[in-house]
Each structure stands twice: as C-alpha cells, then as structure tokens.
Structure 1
Amino acid sequence: MSAPVLMVRGTLRQYRHDFSGALADYAAAQEQDADLAGAHAWRGAIYLVQADYTAAEKECAALRRLGRTVLFGGCAGLTLAYTGHLDQAYRTLQQALAASSDDDHRLWLHTRLGEVAAWQGQFATAEGHYRQALAIGRDDGYLLAAWCDFLLDRNRPAAVVDQLAAWESSDGLLLRLAEAETRLKLPAATAHRQALDDRFAAARRRGDTTHRAEEARFYLRLKNDAKTAVALAAENYRVQREPRDARILLEAASAAGDADAARPVLDWLQASGFEDAGLRQLARQLSQSGAVR
C-alpha cells in the first residue's frame, strides 16, 4: 500500500478513535518516506490525545528537524501546554502563527491559542483569538465547539444560541446549543434534548463509542444523571486523555460523589503539572472530600 493511501487510512482510523491502527498506518507510511511530515504531525497529535508526552516530543523533534516550523510549533506548543508550561506554550504557538500564511493552520493555531489563554485566565486574550479564528470564515467544528464552551464558561448562553442556530446536524454542536437553550429556558431545548437522546441511543446500537465524552456531558448537564455520566466519562478517559476529557470526568465524579472514578485524572494532574485553575479547583474539591483512596 502506498504512503498516501496509508495516510488516508490512518486519518480515517484516528477519526474513529482507532488510535493504534492509525499509528500503525502512519508508521508504515514513514517506512516508505521517513521525512513524511504529515505522518509525524498526526502521530504527535495522537500521542497528545493519549497523554504520552515523551512520544509526542519525539514527533515534534522530527518536525523541527524537517524544517516544518508551523507544524513543529503546533506540536511543541500543545505538548508544553499539557505538561504545565502554559506561558511557554503560548509563546511557541504564537511563533508558529507568525510563521504561517495558510488559513487552515492559522485557524487551528488561533483556536489553540484561545484555549491556552483561557487556561491562563486571560479571557479577553482568549476571546480575541477565537474571534480571529472565526473571522477566517471557514466552517470548523472544533473551533465552534471550543468557542461555545468558552462562552458557556463565561455564562453567555445567548451568544451560543446565536452562533449555533444552523448547526443542529452536528451532535457535538447540538449538545452545546441544547445546553445554552436549557440555561435560557427556551422552548427549543426540549426537542433538542430529545434529539440528542435519540442520537446517542442510535450510536450505542451501532457500537459507535467515539462520542462518549459528549454523551457523558449530556447525561451530566442535561439529564442530571451523574451516575451514568461518570461511567461514560471514565470509559472515554481510558481512550482519550486531553484536558476536556479530564474535565468531564472530574465534573461527573464530583456530581456523583465518586471521587475514586477520577483517580486517573488526579494522577495525570500530578504527573503532568497541567496548570488550568478550573481543573485544579475541581481536583482539590475531590481530594478534600475524603473519598479518594
């Protein structure tokens, strides 16, 4: 199988959360072309999802050796962010942004800079990055989800409704729309909650487990079923271990009074040094509950 075909299959596999299969495809592509930057970038991204930061750093180093300044900056910036170096991460991502003229790269970098700035507590800066990403004018589900999560965290649900009015087809974005509508007590919230319930049930019937984090959030925030939410969030965290995955597990464990379920996240926070104040506060509350063994 040719390297381009392996790259396509690897990308499809990682979108289905078959991370081991995707890593194998990218490795096979690299056997044909050791300098295949895309393979290094995707492998680095998967290792970050899995919280394997040593492996991610090796892929970042390969991108630097290949002279791929923007890809290296994105890879290294996120690795720094996830390992307790937010200030350095922000500078590294900014340097990558300054070096990029590609709109897709710039959208992604502004989005991740927005996340890092929010973790730093620099909310005006974060909003500026999100708005610059939106101004590029590309439809991007990750950007819209991150932006609307930021708005919800800042208690601005009306802005979420305005932003997502035309995005009901996306499960992840419909979740955020329904959450905003529920907060505002809008009539549309009932139908959207039912649509999400139906979609998650259909996904379970066909064995699709790629949206466990969103389903956990649905059960926690919109169905008030913390017991189911914590089980889903724990299952998700065994596969995906990015900060947003850690957050839903901490929130669900706190609501369920099941601090032991959050032990993997508490261990990750201790080992990584991740600096987000919100996650740290949730972790302290759980640790102080006296229920963690």
Structure 2
Amino acid sequence: MLKRKIWLFILAFVLLALGITFWLMRRHDEVKYKEVLVLGHAGSGFLSPLNPFNPLPSNSMASLVKAMEENGADGVEVDVQMSQDGVLILYHDVSLESMTKAQGIIDNLQAAEVVGLKYTGGFFYDLFHEEEIITLEAMLQRFATYPELPYLHIDLRNHVASRHLYYAQTLLDMLRKYNYPLEKLVFISPNVQFLLAFREVEPAAQLMIDTAGDYEQALVEAKNNALQGICANGRDVSAAQVQRAKEQGLQVALFGGKSRSRIARMINMQPDAIQVDNVAAARQMLE
C-alpha cells in the first residue's frame, strides 16, 4: 500500500510539473501590434530539443519548406555564402565542421565539394532528417512555384573582402534570373563596405546593417551611409531603441524568438519584421 501511494505521489508530481511547464511555454504578454512581417529565421530556426522540437538544420530545404508551406511565414531569412567558383550556397556557420563531416570554409572550396554534404547535427537530431547543404538557386526554384514570391532577408556571408563586389554581382544576377522584386528583398550585413558593394551594383537595393551587438553604433552607421534599415537581436534591444530607429526613417528587423513570451515582446516593440525560430507560434499570436 505504501509503495502504491509513493508511485501515485510521483505520478501526480510529474503531471503537475508537466502542466506548469506547458503553461509557462504558452504564457506571453498580450500582442498589441499586428503590422509585422513574420519571417522564418534560417527557415524554421536552429536545432532545438523542445519549445518547439526542431530537428531540421538551419537553411536546409526541409526547414525552409516547413516555415513557408506548413507554418505560413511571410518569407524567410537565409544565410548565403559563395564558393570559390562563384556558386551561392545556403549555410549559416563559418566552418563546415560544425554541421557536417567535412572541413574548411565555403569561400575556399569548390561548390562540388560543398553542395550535397549531409548535415550532421548529432545522432538524435539526425534520426529525423536526411537534409543536405543546398544552393540558393534550389531555394529560388522552389519559391518560383508559389503563387506569390515570399519576402527574403539575405544575411550576406563573405569572408574575403576583395570579393565583395563579385559576390554582390553574382547574387543580384541570380535574383534577377528569377524576377525577384526588389521590394521583397533585404540585404543584411554588419559590414558597411559589403553593403555598399550592393548599392554599387543595384542603387535601389534595400540595405540593412546588422548591429552585431552595438545598436547605437549601427544607428550612426545607418545614418552616415544612408542605409534603409537595422537588424538586431530581439533579446538585446528595447522598444525605445526600435522607435528611435523608426523615427530616423529606418526599417527595423528583430531576430531570435523561440518562446511565445520572447516573440510577443519582440512584436510589441513594433518592428517592421521579425525573424523567428517558431513561425507557427508567431503566426497564431498575430491571428
């Protein structure tokens, strides 16, 4: 009898803990602002064991498709690198070692050495996918089948300054090939000179500086270089800072946000766009 009571107590405690955890995961401030674009951060975000569970590698085709076709994102943010032979590739990290069994950085490798590499996020996550590194063009081909092209925030990743202009020309040529409207494109980097290379190729390009942790300096750089926007981690900025940027005539994009509480806080700061790791939650909160 005593053992039975102990097991019932343990069961009740576990159920209570699960209930509290579930309540905390769904708890958030009232969303008072609705005019915001919801973009999938690198598709459906990054590997996560819960809240929500996400086994899909960032920038993979499955991650992008889930954000757009299952969860109803307005668009996606993607990380674009360029191989040594000028092929545009979707990949987030600096080195291939972090998410594949290969080594090196994409800038120094031929596309044939990178495209098709299997993602390896760890044994547990790898049970749920067979994703591989894809090109930007593969994503654009998928998007071309949609009734309307989605918004696209492009995080520019190039580690060779002498190739900034070549990268800009190559990327813009690819986007023009698929008739991507400039009003749906934003180019993002913490490197002002890299952004200005895009202006040289396309004067009407929307350029957004990544704050890289220094919001105030980014505001100065945006003003001095007549950039169109500012991109910041939603965890690190305040509503007052967002408002100040908008008063300066800048678009504001905030990234991050997996929990509902974080996403609600980001939305209520009234940015123009949020790049979130939990598109489904953001979309539900804005309905």
TM-score when normalising by structure 1: 0.29
Q: Which has the higher contact order (CA 8 A, sep 6+)?
A: 2
Structure 1 or 2: larger strand share? 2
- Structure number with the higher helix fraction is 1
TM-score, with normalisation over the residues of structure 2? Answer: 0.29
